[in-house]
């Protein structure tokens, strides 16, 4: 019932924080202090984005900002019309909650 609202909030969160999807599988996403940010130009829209220095180093040549990636995902799912395969890692906040 509230799934659509959750999805909207998730997307809104991503919009507010361009780095949000950049942490996928990178490990130490939950650092208490903010990571140093560097400006990287998105290879798609050409806008300068603030990204963690590590990401900036890795993706300086072909960085694609969250907004462009989101558009890509929307296009993909529109073409496939299939369910997204990867579950959002954010959904599992506390695996031991059922104890």
3 state DSSP class of 18: coil
Closer to Zn ion at the Cβ: 6 or 39? 39
What angle separates helix 3-16 from helix 66-80, to the nearest 10 degrees? 150
Q: Which of 10, 20, 44, 59 binds Zn ion (CB under 5 A)?
A: 44
| # residues near Zn ion by CB under 5 A | 5
d(CA 60, CA 41): 8
d(CA 14, CA 97): 26
Residues 56-95 that bind Zn ion (CB under 5 A): 65, 68
- Report which DSSP code applies to 36: P
Q: Which of 8, 9, 39, 45 binds Zn ion (CB under 5 A)?
A: 45
Q: Which of 18, 22, 42, 56 binds Zn ion (CB under 5 A)?
A: 42
Binding residues for Zn ion, per CB under 5 A? 42, 44-45, 65, 68
């Amino acid at each position: 019932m509230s799934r659509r609202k959750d999805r909207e909030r998730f997307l809104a969160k991503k919009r507010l924080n361009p780095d949000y999807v950049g942490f996928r599988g990178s490990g130490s996403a939950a650092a208490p202090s903010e990571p140093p940010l560097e400006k990287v130009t998105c290879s798609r829209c050409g806008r300068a984005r603030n990204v963690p220095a590590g990401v900036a180093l890795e993706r300086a040549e072909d960085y694609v900002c969250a907004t462009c990636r989101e558009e890509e995902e929307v296009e993909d799912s529109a073409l496939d019309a299939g369910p997204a395969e990867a579950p959002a890692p954010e959904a599992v906040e506390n695996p031991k909650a059922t104890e």
